[in-house]
Amino acid sequence: MSVLIYAEHRDQKFNKAVYELVSLGYRLANELNTQAIAFTSGDIADDELKSLGRFGCKTILHTSANVYDDEKQLAETISAAALENNAKVVLMPHSFRGRAVAPRIAVRLKASLAQSINGYPASVQPMVVNKRAFSGKALVKENLDGDISVITLTPNTFGLHENAVGAVVQALPDNAGAPATRVLQQEVQKGKILLSEADIVVSGGRGMRSADNWQPLEELADILGAATACSRPVSDEGWRPHHEHVGQTGKVVSPSLYFALGISGAIQHLAGISGSKVIVAVNKDPEAPIFTVADYGIVGDLQSVLPRLNEAFRKHKSGN
């Protein structure tokens, strides 16, 4: 028996979400009295593979075949690894790839499926997970009745927990065959910090007034080491790139700290930020819906509030 973790990588590097997933897998494995096993594919350095051992993964199954680009191949390979290692739980990140492949794996394994769980399950035997529902307005407990559970974890909901063990890399044969699809070109999101991995997010809305007024917001992000984001109207207007759009039809984020600057708080936007631990809102309208979910709020004009925030954070960072 085992807990199988899909270790997704970007440019042959594991990110925080993967280490968080391994941390969860290690704890689940301990409670089930078994071991946590990771699976990954592609050309990855041995040291990078063994870094999963810092968070409790003793065995890393690795195939040099690049099955990542083909969802069918990826699902088949992970399913085969799950059966070979008698996995009772298959963990995947709630990324674009993870949430697309998890249902395929669940069908192949005849397993229960839970997408986007929040943190550690309420119960492991039987498996009961915590999730958000109704665009983040409600919290629900979901029972997984199957012998095998396929689960995707929302980032930043469990945290990193180091449990260093000596990791061993086990090479798997390259028998994936020819892929059904091929990736011809990729456009990689540029920026210091990826939105999907950010612990702090600074987001702007129509209250920023125009595309020319974003320098103070970007300055705040630089001071805090944060990622930048925006509401849908902003990306629709072309003020900011679409990959920064946060909301029900954009990216769903769950940072430790989320700044909503000039964002009114439409239900579609709130659905994308409901997992944030702390929300700070700045809006000139005291009746803006964003204040109903904000932990801290400032009623005022962004053009005067934002420079003062930057000054305060800069002084705090410098220790003055």
Q: Are residues 166 and 216 in the same domain?
A: no
Same domain, 51 and 92: yes
Is the same domain home to 294 and 164? no
DSSP designation for 126: T
CATH code where residue 270 lies: 3.40.50.1220
Sign of the Cα pseudo-torsion (296, 224, 245, 17, in order): negative
Residues 249 and 143 in one domain: no
Q: Residue 179: inside a domain, yes or no?
A: no
Asked if residue 184 belongs to a domain, the reply is no
The verdict on 128 and 50 lying in the same domain is yes
Total of domains in the chain: 2
Please give the model's pTM, rounded to 2 decimal places: 0.81
**What distance in Å separates the CA atoms of residue 291 and residue 295, rounded to the nearest whole number?**
8
Distance CA 231, CA 260 (A): 9
| One domain, residues 150 and 259 | no
Q: Is 248 in the same domain as 206?
A: yes
Are residues 162 and 80 part of one domain? yes
Same domain as 204, residue 59: no
Domain extent, residue 226, equals 195-318
Q: Has residue 190 been placed in a domain? A: no
Per-residue pLDDT in tens (0 to 9) along the chain, 320 residues: 999 999 998 878 898 889 999 999 999 999 999 999 999 988 889 999 999 999 999 999 998 877 767 888 889 999 999 999 999 999 999 988 899 999 999 999 999 999 999 999 999 999 999 998 876 778 899 999 989 999 999 888 898 999 999 899 998 877 656 666 666 776 665 556 778 778 999 999 999 999 999 999 999 999 999 999 999 999 999 999 998 999 988 888 889 999 999 999 999 999 899 889 999 999 999 999 999 999 999 999 999 999 999 999 999 887 76
| Residue 23 per-residue DSSP state | H
Residue 132 sits in a domain whose CATH number is: 3.40.50.620
**What is the token pair recorded at 239?**
């003020």
Is 64 in the same domain as 118? yes
Residues 85 and 209 occupy one common structural domain = no
Q: Do residues 298 and 254 share a domain?
A: yes
| Integer angstrom CA distances of residue 116 from 85, 92, 150, 309 | 24, 10, 11, 33
Alpha-helical segments (H) within 85-209: 96-109
